[in-house]
C-alpha cells in the first residue's frame, strides 16, 4: 500500500515526516529474509509489552494510511497485520479478534505452533509501543484532517444508542408507576414513633409512608421525562437517516448541533394535525422541564420569588422573555402523570404508519449506515415491517461475523 503523501495538504507533509522520524528504528519489514520468517509470522505470539498500544484505528491510520507501511490484510481472526522490523528484528503489529498488539514470530524452523515471547521480544515490544505512541501524538493534525475528509462522504456509520437510552426512560417510567401504586395502596397508613429528648421529654412523631412514596414517584417521573427527551435527541436523527433525508456526515453533524425542534421537524411532518398536536404538547413539556429541572427556575411554573401584598404571599415568575423578564403568571405547572401519558401517546404515534418499520432497526442497536441512504437500501427496507425485519436479521449476522473476524 502506498503512502498518502501525494494527497495530503502541504501543511501535513511535515507532520508525516515528523511522525516517520519519531519511529526511529521501527520500519516496514520488507520481504522475508528467510523461510522461517515467512512461517514465523503465522505462528506469532502476543507480547505483554505491546498490550498498551494506542487504539487500533489510530495505529492503522498512522502506519498504513499516513506512512504507507505495507499490510498483509485480513486472514483468520485477524483484521490486518503490519510486518515491521525493530533494530532488524521481525515483529507483527496485528489487530486480532482479541485486540491489538505487538506479536513476536516463532522463528524455529521445526515449530508447529506459536511460542512464548522471550525477554528480548518483550523489551522490543515495549520500545515499539513507546515509539508508536509518540508518533500517534505527533500525527494528531493528520487525524483531524482525516476525520474531516471522512465526514464529508456517505461512507460513515452513525452510532446507535437508542436502545440503551430508551431503557433508561423505561426504568424511571416504570419506577414512577410502581411508587405511585404503592403510595395509593398505603395512603391510609400512618407511622407513629415516640422519641425521648435529652431532657427526658417524650414526643410523638407521625409520618405518612404514602407521602414519602409520592415524593419519590415525582422524582422518578421527572427523571423519566429528562431521559425521554435525551432519547429523542438521539433517535430523531436515526429516524431521519432511515427516511433517507440525511446523506453525509456533514448532514448528520448539522442536525445534531440543531435544537430539539429542528430534529423533530426533520423526522416528522408537523403539517400533519396529529403530529402537530404531539409536537405542541412535547414542546411545552420540554420548556417546563428545562426551566424547572435543568435551568434552576425553582417552581414548575418558573416561580423564583414571592412578595407580600394584600393578597398574601404572591409569586413572581421568571418568563425567559428579554423584554419582560418577570410576571405574576406563567405556564400551567406540568403534572407528572399526565406528562408520562402524553409521552406514551407520542410513542404510539411515532411508530405508526410509514415510520413503523424503522422501529425494528432503531432498537436493533445497529448503526445507521449513510451509504445505505445513497444506494436506496434503507428506502427498500422501509417499505414494510417484513422487509425491515429481514434486513435487520441479515445485517446483524454480517456484524456478528465481522466482530468474530470470520472473513
- HEC-encoded secondary structure of 218-287: HHHHHHHHHHHHHHHHHHHHHHHHHCCCCCCHHHHHHHHHCCHHHHHHHHCCCCCHHHHHHHHHHHHHHH
User: For residues 226 and 289, is the Cβ–Cβ distance under 8 A?
Assistant: yes
In order along its 407 residues, the chain shows pLDDT tens digits of 444 444 789 999 999 999 999 999 999 999 888 888 878 888 889 999 999 999 999 999 999 999 999 999 888 788 999 999 999 999 999 999 889 999 999 888 777 778 889 999 999 999 999 999 999 999 999 999 999 888 888 888 999 999 999 999 999 999 999 999 999 999 898 888 888 888 888 887 778 899 999 999 999 999 999 999 999 999 999 999 999 999 999 999 999 999 999 999 999 999 999 999 999 999 989 888 765 555 554 455 545 555 656 666 666 665 554 455 556 555 555 689 999 999 999 999 999 999 999 999 999 999 999 999 999 999 999 999 999 999 999 999 999 988 888 76
Q: How far lies 93's CA from each of 1, 313, 391, in Å?
A: 16, 73, 35
Query: Is 351 in the same domain as 372?
Result: yes
C-alpha–C-alpha distance, residues 158 and 325, integer Å:
41
Locate 102 and state its grid cell: 505487538
C-alpha–C-alpha distance, residues 69 and 26, integer Å:
11
Of 330, 256, 262, the closest CA to residue 291 belongs to 330
The length of the chain is: 407
Query: Is 209 in the same domain as 240?
Result: yes
Query: Is 17 in the same domain as 119?
Result: yes
Within a domain: 310: no
Locate 45 and state its grid cell: 505470539
Label the pairing between strands 45-46 and 326-327: unpaired
Among left, alpha and beta (phi > 0; psi -120 to 50; other), residue 273 is alpha
Beta bridge pairs of residue 191? 207
Count of domains in the chain? 2
Query: Number of helices and strands (H, E) in the chain?
Result: 15, 12
DSSP 44-105: -EE-STTTTPSPHHHHHIIIIIIS-------BTTEEEEEEEEETTEEEEEEEETTEEEEEE-
Within a domain: 324: no
Query: Is 144 in the same domain as 164?
Result: no
**Does the predicted model carry a pTM greater than 0.85?**
no
Query: Is 234 in the same domain as 164?
Result: yes
Locate 183 and state its grid cell: 403510595
Query: Is 255 in the same domain as 372?
Result: yes
C-alpha–C-alpha distance, residues 400 and 205, integer Å:
60
Query: Is 146 in the same domain as 164?
Result: no
Within a domain: 304: no
Give 365-378 pLDDT, tens digit per residue.
999 999 999 999 99
CA 212 from centroid of its chain's CA atoms: 35
Query: Is 56 in the same domain as 123?
Result: yes
Range of the domain at 165: 160-294+336-403
Query: Is 275 in the same domain as 213?
Result: yes
Of 80, 85, 82, 91, the closest CA to residue 45 belongs to 91
Q: How far lies 253's CA from each of 149, 243, 256, 263, 266, in Å?
A: 13, 17, 5, 12, 13
Q: Which of 122, 151, 180 is the last residue of a domain?
A: 151
User: For residues 307 and 326, is the Cβ–Cβ distance under 8 A?
Assistant: no
Q: Which of 120, 151, 182 is the last residue of a domain?
A: 151
Query: Is 232 in the same domain as 277?
Result: yes
Query: Is 242 in the same domain as 383?
Result: yes
Burial of 168 (0-12, 13-18, 19+ CB in 10 A): middle
Give 124-141 pLDDT, tens digit per residue.
999 999 999 999 999 999
Q: Which of 151, 183, 203 is the last residue of a domain?
A: 151
Within a domain: 86: yes
Amino acid at each position: 500500500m502506498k503512502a498518502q503523501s501525494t494527497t495530503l495538504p502541504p501543511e501535513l507533509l511535515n507532520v508525516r515526516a515528523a511522525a516517520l522520524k519519531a519511529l526511529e528504528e521501527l520500519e516496514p519489514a520488507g520481504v522475508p529474509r528467510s523461510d522461517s520468517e515467512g512461517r514465523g509470522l503465522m505462528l506469532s505470539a502476543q507480547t505483554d509489552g505491546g498490550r498498551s498500544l494506542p487504539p487500533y484505528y489510530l495505529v492503522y491510520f498512522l502506519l498504513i494510511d499516513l506512512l504507507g507501511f505495507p499490510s498483509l490484510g485480513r486472514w483468520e481472526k485477524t483484521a490486518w497485520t503490519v510486518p515491521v522490523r525493530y533494530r532488524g528484528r521481525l515483529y507483527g503489529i496485528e489487530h486480532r479478534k482479541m485486540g491489538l498488539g505487538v506479536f513476536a514470530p516463532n522463528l524455529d524452523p521445526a515449530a508447529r505452533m506459536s511460542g512464548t515471547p522471550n525477554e528480548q521480544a518483550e523489551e522490543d515490544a515495549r520500545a515499539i509501543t513507546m515509539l508508536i505512541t509518540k508518533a500517534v501524538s505527533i500525527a494528531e493534525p493528520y487525524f483531524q484532517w482525516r476525520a474531516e475528509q471522512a465526514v464529508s462522504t456517505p461512507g460513515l456509520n452513525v452510532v446507535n444508542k437508542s436502545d440503551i437510552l430508551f431503557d433508561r426512560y423505561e426504568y424511571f417510567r416504570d419506577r414512577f408507576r410502581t411508587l405511585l401504586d404503592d403510595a395509593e395502596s398505603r395512603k391510609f397508613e400512618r407511622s407513629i414513633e415516640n422519641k425521648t429528648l435529652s431532657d427526658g421529654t417524650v414526643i410523638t412523631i407521625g409520618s405518612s409512608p404514602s407521602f414519602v412514596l409520592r415524593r419519590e414517584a415525582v422524582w422518578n417521573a421527572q427523571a423519566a421525562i429528562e431521559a425521554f427527551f435525551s432519547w429523542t435527541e438521539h433517535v430523531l436523527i436515526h429516524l431521519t437517516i432511515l427516511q433517507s433525508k440525511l446523506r453525509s456526515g456533514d448532514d448528520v453533524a448539522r442536525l445534531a448541533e440543531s435544537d430539539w425542534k429542528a430534529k423533530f421537524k426533520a423526522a416528522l411532518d408537523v403539517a400533519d394535525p396529529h403530529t402537530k398536536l404531539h409536537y405542541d404538547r412535547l414542546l411545552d413539556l420540554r420548556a417546563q422541564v428545562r426551566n424547572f429541572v435543568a435551568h434552576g427556575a425553582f417552581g414548575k411554573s418558573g416561580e423564583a420569588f414571592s412578595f407580600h401584598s394584600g393578597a398574601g404571599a404572591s409569586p413572581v415568575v421568571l418568563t425567559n422573555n428579554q423584554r419582560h423578564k418577570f410576571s405574576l403568571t406563567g405556564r400551567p405547572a406540568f403534572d407528572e402523570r399526565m406528562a408520562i401519558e402524553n409521552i406514551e401517546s407520542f410513542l404510539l404515534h411515532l411508530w405508526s404508519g410509514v415510520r413503523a418499520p424503522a422501529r425494528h432497526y432503531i432498537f436493533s442497536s445497529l448503526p445507521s449506515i449513510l451509504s445505505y441512504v445513497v444506494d436506496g437500501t434503507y428506502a427498500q427496507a422501509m417499505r414494510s415491517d417484513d422487509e425491515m425485519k429481514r434486513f435487520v436479521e441479515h445485517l446483524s449476522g454480517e456484524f456478528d461475523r465481522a466482530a468474530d473476524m470470520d472473513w
